[in-house]
Structure 1
Amino acid sequence: MKIIKINAENPEKEKIRMARDILQQGGTLVYPTDTVYGLAANIFHKKAVYNIYRMKKRSSDKPISICLSKTEDIKMVAQLNQQTEKIIRKILPGPYTLILNRKDDVPSWITPGTDKIGIRIPDNAICRELSREFPITTTSANISGHPSPKSAQEARDELDDHPDMIIDSGPCPGGVSSTVLDLTVTPPLILREGAGMEKLL
């Protein structure tokens, strides 16, 4: 397992390229977000996504959210309308997981048993660079049911040497998991209160 230090505000291009290559080849890595440290796999690599489930000891019937680089990418994986687009423009990028109706070409191993998908666009340059060429998973880098890691060291202690790489940019500024907002219903429904709640009230 590789551990690389990276600049949170201006991530070094060569280090991002190295991390993205690992994901392109079906590897997994730990990375910082604007809330907590997450686990990444290329969503189109079935084995890599299953490795995320295995590392987290997560039930295989629970969906995993995805991270995108920019709001314009959402239309590639989810169905949008004027209302959802207005909300998205208001709060993203930011510490929110938005539940939307997925498009049919989203891999079934990301959304087992559901036609919905969770989407994040964190206010974090590293996330946006990692997901620039393909969507990646975004799920906290911990065993299911355990506290979410706020630092790379906490993530390593939790997952041992199972990920192929850990990207360390220091402690996450948020330290609290994202707020989950269901945009498939009207009015939108808050499924989990977390970071950024004050902006929704």
Structure 2
Amino acid sequence: MKILKINANNPEKDKIKAAIAILKRGGTVVYPTDTVYGIGANIFDSEAIQKIYHIKKRSQLKPISACVSKIQDIHKIAHMDKNTERIVKKILPGPFTVILKKKNNVPGILTSGGEKIGVRIPDSKVCMEISREFPITTTSANISGKKIPESLNDILKQLDSDIDLILDAGVCKHGIHSTVIDMTSSPKIVRKGAIIPDLNY
């Protein structure tokens, strides 16, 4: 496990490149979001996703969300009509996970065999940079069912050396998980998190 301190507001390019290189070869990276630290792997690499489930001791019956760099990237992995996109543009980037119908290129292991996928664009320059070449997983950096870590020390206490890299940017902005909104029909909040949005757009 390697730890690199990174500037949350102006991420160093060499550290971003190092993270992307690890993700490209099927590795795992713990990174800061606008809510809590997440564990990233290339979502198109089923073996890398399997590592995430192992590291978190998470049931594969529980899907894992994806992090993308920009709104246009959502169309690469999920179906989104114009009205849904209009709402999504109002709330992303931000501390929200939107549930959409996945496209066929998304591995079933990511969505637990389901037809829906959770998508995030955190309001975080680090997230936007490390997910610019391909979507990455975004799931809290903790053992499933345990307290979500608030600091690097808390992460180290829970996660083992299976993590290849930790990008340490200090304490995350919100310190609480994202609000989850199911957009597959009428927008519906299914988990309250850092901010509760007004969906009456």
User: What is the CA-CA distance between 1:113 and the residue it aligns to?
Assistant: 2.3
Q: Which residue of 1 aligns with 2:189?
A: 190
**1:79, 1:60 → 2: CA distance?**
23
- State the shift of 1:200 in Å: 5.0
The whole-number CA distance in structure 2 between the counterparts of 1:141 and 1:39 is 5
Determine the C-alpha separation between the residues in 2 that align with 1:83 and 1:149.
36
Measure how far apart 1:83 and its partner are: 1.7
Q: Note the alpha carbon deviations across 1:151-170, whole angstroms, 9 max, x for none.
A: 22211111032201111000
Q: Measure, in 2, the Cα distance between the counterparts of 1:151 and 1:84.
A: 35
Supply the distance in 2 between the matched residues of 1:138 and 1:198 (Cα, whole angstroms): 20
Cα deviation digits, residues 12-38 of structure 1 (max 9, x gap): 000000011000000001110000000
Distance 2:90 2:38 in 1: 24
| CA gap 1:164/1:184 in 2 versus in 1, 3 angstroms | same
Deviation at 1:179, TM superposition (A): 0.1
Paired-residue identity, %: 56
Question: Partners in 2 of 1:20 and 1:153 — Cα distance?
Answer: 23
| Stretches (4+) displaced over 3 A | 198-201
Deviation at 1:199, TM superposition (A): 4.8
Partner of 2:67: 67
Distance across 2 between alignment mates of 1:25 and 1:50? 14
- 1:39 corresponding residue in structure 2: 39
Flag structure 1 segments of 5+ consecutive residues without an equivalent.
none
> What is the distance in 2 between the residues matched to 1:153 and 1:162?
16
Is 2:179 aligned against 1:179?
yes
Q: What are the residue-to-residue correspondences of 1:77-92 with 2, within 5 Å?
A: 77-92=77-92
Question: 1:1-201 counterparts in 2 under 5 A?
Answer: 1-186=1-186, 188-197=187-196, 199-200=198-199
**Residues 1:80 and 1:162: Cα distance change in structure 2 (over 3 Å):** same
Is the 1:30–1:155 Cα contact (8 Å) retained in structure 2? Answer: no
Secondary structure of the corresponding residue to residue 126 of structure 1: helix
Deviations 1:97-143 (A, max 9, x none): 00000111111111122100000000000000000001100000001
Verify the 8 A CA contact 1:36 1:151 in the aligned structure 2. Answer: no
**Cα offset, 1:2, TM superposition:** 0.3
* Cα contact 1:8–1:125 (8 A) shared by 2: yes
Distance 1:198 1:105 in 2: 30
Query: Please, what is the CA RMSD of the aligned residues?
Result: 1.2
Partner amino acid, structure 2, of 1:151: S
Residues paired across the two proteins, number? 200
Deviations along 1:35-55, one digit per CA (max 9) or x if unpaired, are: 000000111111111010001
Asked if structure 1 preserves the Cα contact closer than 8 Å seen for 2:87 and 2:199, the reply is no
Q: Specify the SS of the correspondent of 1:197.
A: coil
Given that residues 100 and 183 in structure 2 are in contact (C-alpha distance below 8 angstroms), is that contact kept between their aligned partners in structure 1?
A: yes
